[in-house]
Amino acid sequence: MPIPDPTQRYPVVLPDGSLHKGTVMLARAVEHPRMRIGDYTYASDFDAPEDWATRLAPYLFPTSQEELRIGRFCQIAHGARFITSSANHAMDGATCYPFPVFDPAQMADYQPDQRDTQIGHDVWIGYNAVILPGATIGNGAIIGAGAVVRGTIPDYAIVTGNPGQVTRFRFPQPIIQRLQALAWWDWSHVRLVAAEDALLAMDLEQLEALAPK
């Protein structure tokens, strides 16, 4: 199986030769000043939108103060949503009602919460998962279907439920440390092609032999 071409908007070719328009390489499909998306990261949707940025992060506006940063090789399933900091209301007053958003003179400068949302590399975000404002998700994590995630999720953790909880880790910590040291997601396309079998087989010795010296 070939490593997909990260420069193509539609990376999945069906057996009849047609392109599957429900899966896109997000870096090719999104142009948004507050989103940073790494190569090879894809999203899938049964009702593919014209505007993938708004579908995935409906509260992230061009004038927002925060950023949504998603690493390389992430996999984002149907229904996943990033509820970014622009969605939050101030909570320290007598009311949470956002009066300034109704005044054009104040609207652009009014954002009580400005935390970024950071998704690492090789993160699988499952069906209908919700990522809340300011979340940081480590490399290799799996976010289960329907999970609601806040705070910091460690590398290679598996998270399920609402509120999202770490149920276990994908690998023992010594293996996680070796994977982190490899940082295979930063390798060149040519090197990744050579490493594909080792990646799928979890052959750490072969990956370490193939790693840049």
Three-state DSSP at 167 gives strand
Find tokens 């429900």 and name the residue.
22
Determine how many CB atoms are found less than 10 A away from the CB of residue 148: 17
How is residue 164 annotated by DSSP? T
Long-range contacts of the stretch 153-158 (C-beta < 8 A, 24+): 155/120, 155/180
Three-state DSSP at 31 gives coil
Find tokens 């994977």 and name the residue.
179
DSSP strands (E only) in 26-170: 35-37, 42-44, 68-70, 75-76, 81-82, 117-119, 124-125, 130-131, 136-137, 142-143, 148-149, 152-153, 157-160, 165-169
211: CB partners within 8 A, 6+ apart = 182, 184, 187
Three-state DSSP at 34 gives coil
Of 20, 32, 78, 89, the active-site residue reads: 89
Q: Is 89 a catalytic residue?
A: yes
Please list the active-site residues. Answer: 89
